[in-house]
Structure formats: structure tokens, C-alpha cells
Structure 1
């Protein structure tokens, strides 16, 4: 059997991508029906999981594409929320422009942080983003006139968004199509970016930056853009969270917000764009069912994280991929396995008359 050609490999990759896109479209359509099968409380939990999934997706995608671990994405998440609240209070803009202005604040902050930190390698990058995030948190506490400090800030948004009064999005039934659609759109956009030439170059820089530089390609600006894109997704999560809750506090700026999103991204698996949202859903389920039972869900989450890292470093996405591969191999093996030969028929079986030679031999043996 001849080895597959490059054209065959590309054809199989395109076919696999088409099936993947089709699966995501089906998932998106099925997810829109959640309000019809879930209770109001369950739908509210699903909404929280979707928003956390967007934030976790921003951190997980950056780690996947560049290999850089950020502990500062809570800053962009919170800055977008506070930016939206500030614009809503001090400017008479349509609600759409107000939300875009808030997201823009988070994107600008991500760009500035990326320009400063992106050259720093390894663990130093993680610690530097953590330090910047903590500075933003401290600054938020000092700017009491804008953030209201530890008391939090109630935000009144006005206007019509996607044909509904923005106040209606405080109801999970009305907010779910918006939140779910933004999650699936973020997943699709980051998946598509990963498959572009720029996305593959980012992966090459992650694997061997020196070789890419010697090949004549820039390595600084592609990573800055990647960091800014991940900040955009985190800012989107912060603004959507404000729209659905109409409240924001300093907790959104604290490093633990981004750290928790990182944990759920690792549990779900950063090698797949669907991994972080799945990890967020698992966390919300654990938090809901263990917080009221006297068990410490943080400890359970830690045990789950340890098991996943030891057994499957790729997270739940890797476990699912292994199960799918094993199932495909099993089906192919059964399809190609030759049928067992038919057993030889004994002439003395019921319904078969013994031959003359066999009957005579038996009579001779009886004598």
C-alpha cells in the first residue's frame, strides 16, 4: 500500500475540518434550546458557566498558541466592565457603542500590557502579568469615585440591544441566546484564527522562536497581536457579565478571577478550543452541588486538577479524543477483520445420514 500524498493529507484535513464545523453548528443550535429544558436556576448556572468559559477560552487559547501563561487577564475582564459602566454613566451613547467602548478599554489595556511583557520568556512572563494585574486591582481600589471600591458598583444600562431592552438581559431566559451565541462565536473565531497562516506561525514561534527568526519572520508583533486578541475575548466576557448582572466589583480585577479561569481551562484542555468552556461547565456543576453539602469544592477541584494533569495533560478534551480514537480503531478493526471459517460438518449430525463406510466401521467396532 502506497504512502499518502500531500494532497491526500490536505484533503483529509479539509474533510475533518468540515465535519468539525458541522458538529459545532449542531451544538450551537442545540444549545439555543436550553431554556426549554432547563429550570430557571439551572439556566442561570449555565449562563455563569458560559461567561466563565469565554474568559477561560481567552487564557487557554493564548497558552495554546504562544505557550505563554498569563495571570493578568482578570485585569482586562474588569477594565472592560468598569469602562462600560463609566461610559454608560458619563456619556449619552447608544447602548451598542457603550458596550463597544467598554470592550475597547480592555483591548487597549491588553495591547499596552502585551507591548511591555511579550518579550519576557517563561515563568517571568507569568509573574509579570500577575504583578501588572495586581497593580490594576490596587489602582481600582484607590479610584473610589469610579469603582466605588469594595462596595461594588450598580450599573444602569439603557437602550435597545438586539431588539430587546438591555434591562431584559438580567433574565437568564432572555440573556441565554446572547451569552451562548457569543461563546460559540468566540470558539469559532479563535479556531479559525488558529488555522490561518498567522496562527500556524504562532505555533512555530512557540515551538522554536529562534528558528522562526532565522527564517526571516518577525516573532514580536505576531505574539503582541495574539495577546491583544486574547485580551479582546476576556474583555468581551467582562462586558457580557456586566450586561447580565448590572453589577461589578473589585473582585473582577483580582488575580484569582483569572487564576480560576486558568484552572478550568487546564481541566477542560487547552489543546482544544472547546476544552476551556467544558472545564468551566464542570466547575460550575461542582461548585453548585458541593458548596451546600458541607464539602469543600475547592479541594475537590484541586483533586480533579491533579488527576487530569497526571493522567491526561491535555485535559478532558484529550480524554474525549482518546475515547473517540479508540472507538474508531475498534470499528475499523471489526470492519476489516476476516470472517471466521465455517466449521466442518459432521456427517453424524442430526438430519445427516451417515455414509455406508462410516456405518460399517461402527458395526465392526461394536462386534
Structure 2
């Protein structure tokens, strides 16, 4: 790990001011970065992938906007400094929308969930082996150097949202449940608070995979805001992986289902383990609305979800696995007793 300066911020304004203080690091060095749980950042700092000149610890901030879990109707507001385990353990969140808490429980070990913040979880970086190993060319780490995964061993890599510059998978779980519910994030910067859709937070790789989000260098996520419909009580997060615990998804799905008998009135679908960014399967939703939920209609929805897939040599199995994961999630929800 390379040397770095460390500072603590007690207020949001203090954190933003510290981030913008150009005297704290030379212009040729990597920029300052915020740190909360640090479960992802510290890992990549040890690997030499992330090389901030200064870390600004925002854990001392007691601002309610970043700390509170607020349950409204239909809005649930989750502060960015709330720990994953706090939401996981919240009975009302689980009652209103089980897939939110399930996506957190299945994300990592309990020890990590006790440390990791919700905001940091959304901003976690890929686990692409070629990104993590600095001896390999990687456009996400070093723009213009090439993507070693495209012609390398790419079993873990994405089949949706890929580009000729990057096929790295977004490995988060929580974001799939949030994007299915069309959640928003409140972002604090020097000019105040702005709200954007979660779907607009992460940038697809395109030709600049190093630009991962729309956050400015002196902005931080304050909260996650979700309008949870009453029917989201019929929801779940299904995660398929190589082993039952502490593994990233090969394919996952976050599904919330509104049924009138056997007919789909509404449905929300997020897909994980298969895309470069959190992925909303709107085409699959359109196939299902207004139709009976059967094995056949679920299969057609799955086909629509993966119609644009671009598999490589070793990850082609993810297309069929992703389809079967979605079908299973839908059918199991159909049988769910509330």
C-alpha cells in the first residue's frame, strides 16, 4: 500500500471542504477520496489498484440525512452511512420489500455487512481479475491500455451492457433490488442537494470505462430513496453462485410481482452478475404485464431480458443461467403465500 494522508470530517460541509482543498495533495497525484466502511477501498489500496493521496473519513458525521432509516408510505429513505446490517435487520423494511433485505443478506459475510455502508456498497468497484491485477492492461484502470478480459479468461464477466473497451461485471447485489424499484439517490455537493435516479448513477463502460459514475469529485451520496409499492411484499432476491456463501453472483434476479389471480398487473425486475452496471430488465417486464404468469410467459420474458446479450468465450453459460434464474424467481413468487 502506498503512503497517503488521512483526515476525519465531522460535518458534511467539512467533508466537502476537505475534498476540495487542493493544497492537501500535489496536482500530479491521485485525488482525495471519501472513506466510510472501507471494505472495498482498503482491499484495492493494498493491491495498488486504488492510489488516493488522501482519505477523508466521513464516519464521524452524525448528520441525520446520512444516518437515518426513515419509513414512510410509500417512501423509504436510507441514509448513505447506514450499515448494510442495519437495513437487513429492520423488520419494517423486510415486511414491505423482502428483496431489499435479501439482497443485503446475500451480499457478503456478516462481519463485512456490519462495516459496509449503503453508499459505499453502491459505489463498489468490479472484481474483474484483470482490473485487480495491475500487471494486466485494463481500460478501467488505465484508459487506452486495452481490455485483457475480452480475449482472456472471462467466465465471471458481463454479457449485458458491454462494450469493445470493457466487459467487467458490476458485482453488487443491493443495487439490483434498488434499480428494480426505480430508486433514487440524493447527492450532496457544494451547490446543495440534487436527486437522480439510481439508473443514472452508474455509467455504462462505452469507450471510457474508467468513468464509472456521474458523481463529481467533491460530491457524496447522502441517501437512497425508494418508493415501495404495497405489492412489493411479494418480492425476492435470488442469487446463483459457485458456493452458498461469500461468493459473487454468476446470475441473480431481484423481482417484485403484483398479481391479480394469475395475471401480472405489474412487475419489476433487476438482474445481477450478468451486466456491467446495475441492470433493469424493462423488456422482460413489458412481456409479462397484463398476461398470465406461466412457465411459457416467464420463459418469453427471460428471452427478452437477454436478447441483447454479447457473450464471450467462457461466459456464454451466463445467458441460459440468467434466463433460468429469472424464470425460477418469477414462478417461486407466483406460488408465494402472503
Which TM-score applies when normalising by structure 1?
Answer: 0.23
Flag the structure with larger Rg. 1
The structure whose residues are more often helix, as a share, is: 1
Which TM-score applies when normalising by structure 2?
Answer: 0.24
| Greater RCO structure (CA 8 Å; 6+ sep) | 1
